[in-house]
Amino acid sequence: MNFLFASPPPGDRTSLWMFLAFVAATLVITYFSARKSSGASAYFAAGRRITGWQNGLAVAGDYMSAASFLGIAGMIAMNGYDGFMYSVGFLVAYLTVLYIVAEPLRNSGKYTMADMLAYRLSPKPVRAAASLSTLTVSVFYMIAQMVGAGVLVRQLIPGVSYEVAVVGVGLLMVVYVVFGGMLATTWVQIIKAILLMSGSIFLSVLVLREYHFDLGEFFTRLTAIESTAPDGTKVVRNFLTPGLIFKNPWDQISLGMALLFGTAGLPHILIRFYTVPDAKTARSSVVWAMAIIGLFYIMTTFFGFGAASLMGPDYVQANGGTNMAAPELARKLGGEVFFAFISAVAFATILAVVAGLTISASTSFAHDFFTNVIHHGKEHQPGQEVLVARIAAFVVGALAIVIAIILGPGVNVAFLVGLAFAVAASANLPVMLFSIFWKRFNTNGAVVGLLVGLTSSILLILISPDFMGENAIFPLKNPALLSIPIGFLAAIIGTLLSKEVPSEDKFVEFQVRANTGLGSEKATEH
C-alpha cells in the first residue's frame, strides 16, 4: 500500500488526510470487531444482534454503492434522463425485497441464500449451484466497485496509478473481512451510510442554491445542454428527453427488468437479513433502508443534472470521466475541503460495499460448498468453516482486483452493476420464488434454473454491443429482457422433466416456518 505514503501537492493534502482518517477509523472498528468475532455465528452473521434501524442503515450502506454515488451521477451528467432510470430502478427494486423475500429468507435460513433453498430440496446439488451463482454475482458486482475505487483514489492522491489504487483498496477490504467479519463490515456500512447521506444532503442544497431553490429554473436549464459530439462538433441536447443512451426502447425495458428484479437476488443484500434476531426486525430494517435509499436516489437527480448544467458533459469527461462527476461538482460548489470530504465518503462507500460482497462470497463458499457439499454438513475441526471463509476472501478479492485492472478506469461503474443485477435476477430470483411458492418445485428445477439463468445471462453479456461492438450477436446492452424469462423457464422445465416428487409435508413445514418464524435461527447469547 505504498500509495498511502505518496507526497501530494500542498493543495491536495486535505483529501489525503481525510482519506487516511477514514482508513484509520475503519481499521480501529475492525480491531475491536475482531475481538468479538469468535465462532461462525459471530463471524458470518454478527451474532444476530443487529437492530432494525442499524441493519437498515447497513443495508442502505451496502446498496448505495459506487454505482449509485459515482456511476449514476456520471450517467445523468453525460446523458440526462436515461441515466436517471438507474436511480428509479434501484429504488423500486426494494419493494420486491420487502414484500416477497425478506421474511421467508430470514425464517428459513442460517447464513446464505442456499440455506433457504436446501430446506425443502436436496442440499448438496442445490448448495453447489447456489454457491457458484453467489460467487459469480458477487465478483461481477465487486469489479464495478474496484473500478470506482481506482478512479477515485487516483484523483484523491495525484501520482498514484489506477492499478496501484485498485490493489491497495482490495487489500484493505480483505483486512476488514478476514479479521472483523460481519460485525466490522456492518459498522463500516452504518458509518458510511451516515456520512454519505450527510454529504449528499449538503451537496444537494449547494446545487439548489445555484438555482435560487427554484426547481422550475433547475429543470429549465436542462433543456439545452451543450457538449461535443464524437466528430468534434458542438451539439445542444435536451437532457430531460429519453433516448440519449438507449436509442432502442427495448434497452430501457431490459435495464428496468434487471434493476427491478435483481435486488432480491443479490447475495450481499440477502445475507444482511441473517444479522437480525427475527423476521419482524428483518422487515423493519427493509423499511428503514427504503426510506434512506429513497431520499438518496432523489438526491442523485441534483448531483447528475447539477453536474450537467453547472459544469457540462465536456468538463466532466475531461476531469476524471463520468465516475468523478459528483466529486468534481462538490469541488466546484464547496471548494477543496468539501471535495476532500465527498471523495473520502465515496471511498468509504466503495470499501463498505466491497467488504459486504466479499463476506457474502466467502461465506457462501465456506458454508455452502466446503462444509455442506464437500464435508457433508460437518466441520472436521472447530473453526474450520471460518478459516476457509477467510481464505476464500483473499481469493475472491484477488480475482476482482485482476479483472478490474484488465477492464481499466474508463468503464462506467453503474453500467457494470446493471449487468450484475441482470445475472442475479436471471439465476437467483427464479429459484427463490419457486422455492417459496411452488409446491411441485424440486431439486432438479433449482439446479437447472440456477445454472441456465447464470450461463445465459453471462453469454448474452459477452455477445452484446458493449463487448462485441458492431459485430454484436445480441442487440441489447443488458440481457435481462431475455435472460430472466430463460431463468424462470429453465427452472419450470427442469422441475417438470424430473421424476423427483417433493415432499408435501416438507413444503407445508417450510411454509409454516417461512411465515411464522417457528423454529428459525435465533440470536446468539453472549
Q: For the chain, what is the mean pLDDT?
A: 80
* pLDDT for 8: 45
CA atoms within a 13 Å half-sphere pointing along the CA-CB vector of 104:
23
pLDDT in tens, 5-22: 344 444 456 767 777 787
Please provide the size of the chain in residues: 526
Residue 413 — very low, low, confident or very high, per pLDDT cuts 50/70/90? Answer: low
pLDDT in tens, 101-123: 777 877 776 677 888 888 888 88
Residue whose cell numbers read 463500516:
188
Average pLDDT over residues 377-383: 64
Assigned C-alpha cell, 38: 469468535
Which is more confidently placed, 519 or 219?
Answer: 219
* pLDDT for 4: 38
Assigned C-alpha cell, 176: 476488514
- Say if domain 21-410 classifies as CATH 1.10.3720.10: no
Residue 45 — very low, low, confident or very high, per pLDDT cuts 50/70/90? Answer: low
Assigned C-alpha cell, 513: 416456518
Q: Is the pLDDT of residue 523 over 80?
A: no
Which is more confidently placed, 145 or 333?
Answer: 333
Give the residue ranges of DSSP H helices in 157-214: 162-175, 181-210
Strands (DSSP E) found in 249-407? none
* pLDDT for 524: 44
Assigned C-alpha cell, 3: 500509495
Q: Which residues pair with 225 in a beta bridge?
A: 237
Which of 42-46, 50-54, 487-491 comes out lowest in average pLDDT?
A: 42-46
CA 115, CA 360: separation in Å to the nearest integer? 13
Residue 168 — very low, low, confident or very high, per pLDDT cuts 50/70/90? Answer: confident
Residue 44 — very low, low, confident or very high, per pLDDT cuts 50/70/90? Answer: low
Please, which residues have CB within 8 angstroms of residue 488's CB and are 6 or more apart in sequence? 430, 449
* pLDDT for 202: 92
pLDDT in tens, 179-213: 767 777 788 788 888 888 998 999 999 999 998 88
Q: Is the pLDDT of residue 473 over 80?
A: yes
Average pLDDT over residues 453-461: 92
* pLDDT for 9: 46
Q: Is the pLDDT of residue 412 over 80?
A: no
CA 451, CA 309: separation in Å to the nearest integer? 45
240-248 contacts, C-beta under 8 A, 24 or more apart: 240/80, 240/81, 241/80, 241/81, 242/81, 242/82, 243/82, 244/79, 244/80, 244/81, 244/82, 245/75, 245/79, 245/82, 245/83, 246/82, 246/477, 248/475, 248/476
pLDDT in tens, 258-307: 888 888 888 877 777 777 777 778 778 878 888 888 888 888 888 888 88
* pLDDT for 6: 42
Q: Is the pLDDT of residue 516 over 60?
A: yes
Taking only Cα atoms into account, the Rg of the chain, rounded to an integer number of angstroms, comes to 22
CA 279, CA 284: separation in Å to the nearest integer? 9
Q: Is the pLDDT of residue 55 over 90?
A: no
Q: At what angle do helices 325-363 and 181-210 cross, to 10 degrees?
A: 160
